[in-house]
Amino acid sequence: MSLKERIERELDMLREEERFRVLSETGKREGAFIGSEGKMLLNLSSNDYLGLGDDGQLRQDYLLAFKPGSDSDRFSMTSSSSRLLTGNHRLYTELEESLASWYGRQAGLVFNSGYHANVGILPALASRHDLILCDKLNHASIIDGCRIADAAFKRFRHLDYDHLEELLEGSRGTCRQMFIVTESVFSMDGDLADLQKLCDLRKRYGAFLIVDEAHGVGAFGETGKGLCEVSGLTDSIDMIIGTFGKAFASSGAYGIMDGMIRDYLVNTMRPLIFTTALPPMILGWSRQVLERQRTMSESRHHLHSLAARFREALKEHGLQTAGESQIVPVIIGGNRDAVRAATVLRDSGFLALPVRPPTVPENTARIRFSLRADIRWEDIAGIPEILNRAVGTGEKSWF
């Protein structure tokens, strides 16, 4: 079978199993609404948890800050170089110093994306003499980083810290360094890591703990530092990863760490060394949004209150949900049922897309609602009943 024949066959299988994906165009945005296929829909599939990405006034304020002359380089649309050559604009320094000061740590380091961070940090730090222990439901970028690294890696059962301790105890003395890597808020179930238990294990076994706060920063904490702020453990985690591309409404990601680790990554992390730097326009925007979101504690409280009420309403309508964050999944089961439910929601004015294997385990296809602080309960109150009717019209393979 030729390459093209094999690809054609695999694409046909994806279509048959309702796993075939397409890149759908979106149109203009008006607050929490987004244009899609000629309709304005309530956007419940983005990661704009604070609604800052659609804040027209914030964007206008940034653009109006442009001053011709000496300040014009702040608005350059390209860096045209890697950071180690000529791409390390002064806004990188300002942003990283702001991040380090905000967390009260020695150093911050900005990356081009969360994916760049996760596929680059572990391969830089961990060698064939080391062991990486990874939560089974960590994001694909973390799993890819584990696979790229020369170190051995094992996956512990999701949020099962007894299993993690078994692996730590069984590996004690057999490797140079053990690394523990986890998300704080898991992107598909919306559930939370127990950072206190992880920090206790880190200390007991001398492990290096990396916490990815991609879905935590902005959404958790009085000043938006994520679950590490809520738990009071910012100083006990070796490296905290955050992203600008979700609640912070920009592009790129960052790491919070000790100064020596930062220096080492600058010298060894391939996705940082060999990547064209972010444009100054993006760096300046990230810093402005970072400052703005620190004051949005009321929005965060509203977001979590909204999520709790939504979960309760889903359960009252006999729907299976999970988690305890602004990410609210409705687990339906079969791929066709999930696609049908998303279509019914679209017809009712909601953009809430289906998530299917391999992104989630087999027979757990779902609608994943990403709630936003700029919507009200009245905007989503009718969804549980709509979904109840939608999943009840076909075979209830999700039971």
Cis ω before 354 (30° cut-off from 0): no
Supply the pLDDT for residue 4: 96
Supply the pLDDT for residue 56: 86
C-alpha distances out from residue 304 to 45, 190, 211, 218, 287, Å:
17, 12, 21, 12, 25
Q: Which distant-in-sequence residues (6+ apart) come within 8 Å of 231 by Cβ?
A: 195, 196
Vertex 360 angle, CA 181 and 255, to 5°: 30
Intervals of CATH 3.40.640.10 along the chain: 65-293
Supply the pLDDT for residue 75: 82
Strand partners, 36: 39
HEC profile for 228-263? HHHHCCHHHCCEEEEECCCCCCCCCEEEEECHHHHH
Question: Where are any strands of DSSP class E within the chain?
Answer: 29-30, 33-36, 39-43, 107-111, 131-135, 152-156, 178-183, 208-212, 239-243, 253-257, 327-333, 350-351, 354-355, 365-370
Rounded to a whole number, what is the distance in angstroms from the first to the last CA of the chain? 39
State the Cα–Cα distance between residues 94 and 290, nearest whole angstrom: 12
CATH fold label, 18-50+297-391: Aspartate Aminotransferase, domain 1 (3.90.1150)
State the Cα–Cα distance between residues 7 and 273, nearest whole angstrom: 34
Q: What is the mean pLDDT of each run of 10 residues along the chain (399 residues)?
A: 95 93 88 91 96 90 74 82 95 97 97 97 97 97 97 97 98 96 96 98 98 98 97 97 97 97 98 97 95 96 98 96 97 94 96 93 95 97 95 47
Per DSSP, the three-state class of 185 is strand
State the Cα–Cα distance between residues 304 and 48, nearest whole angstrom: 14
State the Cα–Cα distance between residues 190 and 325, nearest whole angstrom: 5
Query: What phi-psi label fits residue 192: left (phi over 0), alpha (psi between -120 and 50 degrees) or beta?
Result: beta
pTM: 0.93
State the Cα–Cα distance between residues 288 and 290, nearest whole angstrom: 5
Intervals of CATH 3.90.1150.10 along the chain: 18-50+297-391
Q: Are the beta carbons of 278 and 142 closer than 8 angstroms?
A: no
Q: Which distant-in-sequence residues (6+ apart) come within 8 Å of 311 by Cβ?
A: 321, 323, 328
State the Cα–Cα distance between residues 55 and 57, nearest whole angstrom: 6
CATH architecture of 65-293: 3-Layer(aba) Sandwich (3.40)
How big is the chain by its Cα radius of gyration, in Å?
Answer: 22
Place of tokens 């998303």: 342
State the Cα–Cα distance between residues 26 and 38, nearest whole angstrom: 9
